[in-house]
């Protein structure tokens, strides 16, 4: 069956480039270094690939769940990125490689503009890269050569949707299994026609199988695909993937899985990423807070469904205060926090609030309650940035949340409530330490500190406490490389105590900046 590529639901703005003769293939192909194509991936693209491959890992398809994961947002499947790159290569006339080595140094978010480039062309090797601005998000080393024609069968059906398996790191040592290949010919020929024509449908089906193996089975739920090193092997005609974990050392190091079948043999590399960080339970928090110590506080906690906001809500409730926990997307998390507070015997409620569009929610809230305190934990994903490369769009995103949206929200509260308002604005020790990968975040937080001093001096009845918090254990600070983090409870208890004592404490002596 022939498939019309114009009928596919692909992102707009995809641009192909002209190609020159390549002595490696003896035809028209992508030999000279240069840009081959541009594209971006939309959320609906990721949903399609999940259905086609069977890789329904939430890091790819669930924006609410992904906000608590290492990346903070949904990311493009690595095998989707690879299949697209191979399709472009094949469309240019490139021959089927006999081997490929792939690495994914950085995750790709939806909507990000990508460029596929040929970096080098030497002898039988072609080195390609997918770039996001100056950052490389995928490298692909193709080894050209003669490969035998091969037909490998696979089940012509989409895998059934399922939940990914969840494994502790220790459980994966020596793990082994067999995964049948399933793929609809219409899916893979429709999306990757040139890769299917040159490499064979079985190769594309096997790439989709690699995605399902890593994202759904091993490591499964906590997987982060890091790389592929495979050869096209005519002896591996099994209609499925036999796999075995062959390297398993420490959680900070990736797993190596030997794979055979589907016309390929080689190795997959994947990290077991950290699970979301759980904050202390209400009972444990209450054991550290004197009863009644925060009576009278009516605290609006923006971003209170997890992390430092969750901890702050529990501390205030344990001390007899009333908390209003807001969420932008994490309704289930907000319910969990407030239900825990209510079950313990505290007072709390939930409010849906998007700080970028707060008007309706704030108008409704302030018609029923007058907060005495505001704790502002709204934050986009901090992440690792571009490895030190300055990103103006990233800075604009941080500035909007940490500066523009903050001052607007405070202004709305001051207009609607009659009493004084105490505000906590969290800054970061990063402002002093200046880690290169967080430059945009640091600039925005420093601007927020200056804004707070300006507002405190020029807005009557407003008291603002800001401090540079150390690195605390939250979803935002977890990483593949474990760095020292402090427990949030002691630090945030100091913050709430200082907020409750205002205005008798000054900005400088209320809380340490380290």
Helix (H, G, I), strand (E, B) or coil at 98: coil
Q: Which two tokens stand for residue 72?
A: 């903070």
Residue pair 205/180 in contact by the 8 Å Cβ criterion: no
Q: How many CA atoms lie within 13 A of 303 on its CB side?
A: 23
The one-character DSSP state at 171 is G
Say what percent of the chain tops pLDDT 70: 88
DSSP class per residue in 246-305: EE---TTSPEEEEEEETTEEEEEEEEEPPPPPPPPPHHHHHTTS-TTTTTT-EEEEET-S
Q: What is the pLDDT of residue 12?
A: 37
**Of the ranges 70-79, 93-102, 293-302, which one carries the lowest mean pLDDT score?**
93-102
Q: What is the pLDDT of residue 234?
A: 75
The owner of tokens 């571009």 is 386
- Cα separation, 216 vs 214, in Å, equals 6
What CATH number should be reported for the domain whose range is 5-272?
3.10.129.10
The one-character DSSP state at 319 is T
Q: Is the pLDDT of residue 56 over 90?
A: yes
Model confidence pLDDT, tens digit, residues 25-43: 433 344 456 889 999 999 9
- Cα separation, 326 vs 331, in Å, equals 9
Q: pLDDT confidence of 313, banded at 50, 70, 90?
A: very high
Which sequence spans correspond to the domains of the chain? 5-272, 282-510
pTM, rounded to two decimals: 0.81
Burial 214-246 (b: 16+ CB within 10 A, else e): bbbbbbbbbbbbbbbbbbbbeebebbbbbbebe
Residue pair 472/486 in contact by the 8 Å Cβ criterion: yes
Q: Which two tokens stand for residue 192?
A: 């990757």
DSSP class per residue in 382-424: ---TBTTB--HHHHHHHHIIIIIHHHHHHHHHHHH-SS-EEEE
The CATH class of 282-510 is alpha beta
Q: Is the pLDDT of residue 17 over 50?
A: no
């Amino acid at each position: 069956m022939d498939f019309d590529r114009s009928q596919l639901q692909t992102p707009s703005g995809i641009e192909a480039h002209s190609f020159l003769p390549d002595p490696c293939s003896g035809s028209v192909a992508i030999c000279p270094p240069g840009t081959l194509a541009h594209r971006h991936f939309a959320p609906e693209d990721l949903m399609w690939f999940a259905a086609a491959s069977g890789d329904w890992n939430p890091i790819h398809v669930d924006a609410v769940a992904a906000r608590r994961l290492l990346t903070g947002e949904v990311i493009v499947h690595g095998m989707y990125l690879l299949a697209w790159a191979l399709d472009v290569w094949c469309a240019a006339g490139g021959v089927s490689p006999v081997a490929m080595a792939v690495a994914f140094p950085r995750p790709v978010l939806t909507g990000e503009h990508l460029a596929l480039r040929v970096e080098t062309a030497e002898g039988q090797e072609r080195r390609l890269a997918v770039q996001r601005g100056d950052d490389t998000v995928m490298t692909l080393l193709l080894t050209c050569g003669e490969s035998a024609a091969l037909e490998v069968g696979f089940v012509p059906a989409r895998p059934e949707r399922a939940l990914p398996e969840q494994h502790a790191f220790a459980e994966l040592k020596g793990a082994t299994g067999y995964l049948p290949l399933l793929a609809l010919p219409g899916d893979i020929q429709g999306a990757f026609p040139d890769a299917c024509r040159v490499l064979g449908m079985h190769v594309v089906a096997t790439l989709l199988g690699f995605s399902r193996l890593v994202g759904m089975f091993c490591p499964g739920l906590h997987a982060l695909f890091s790389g592929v090193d495979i050869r096209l092997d005519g002896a591996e005609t099994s209609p499925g993937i036999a796999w075995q974990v062959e390297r398993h050392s420490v959680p900070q190091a990736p797993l190596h899985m030997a794979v055979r079948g589907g016309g390929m043999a080689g190795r997959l590399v994947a990290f077991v990423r950290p699970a979301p960080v759980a904050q202390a339970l209400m009972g444990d928090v209450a054991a550290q807070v004197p009863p009644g110590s925060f009576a009278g506080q009516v605290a609006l906690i923006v971003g209170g469904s997890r992390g430092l906001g969750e901890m702050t809500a529990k501390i205030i409730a344990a001390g007899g205060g009333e908390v209003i926990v807001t969420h932008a997307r994490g309704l289930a998390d907000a319910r969990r926090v407030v239900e825990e507070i209510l079950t313990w015997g505290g007072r709390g409620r939930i409010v849906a609030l998007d700080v970028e569009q707060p008007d309706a929610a704030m108008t409704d809230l302030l018609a029923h309650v007058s907060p005495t305190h505001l704790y502002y934990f709204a934050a986009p994903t901090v992440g690792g940035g571009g490895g030190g490369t300055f990103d103006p769009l990233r800075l604009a995103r941080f500035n909007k949340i940490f500066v523009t949206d903050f001052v607007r929200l405070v202004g709305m509260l001051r207009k609607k409530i009659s009493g004084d308002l105490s505000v906590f604005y969290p800054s970061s020790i990063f402002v002093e330490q200046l880690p290169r990968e967080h430059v945009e975040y640091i600039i925005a937080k420093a601007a927020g500190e200056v804004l707070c001093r300006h507002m405190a001096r020029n807005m009557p009845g407003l008291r603002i406490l800001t401090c540079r918090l150390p690195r605390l254990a939250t979803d935002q600070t977890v990483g593949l490389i474990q760095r020292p983090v402090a427990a949030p409870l002691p630090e945030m208890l100091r913050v709430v105590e200082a907020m409750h004592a205002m205005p008798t404490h000054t900005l400088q002596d209320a809380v340490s900046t380290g």
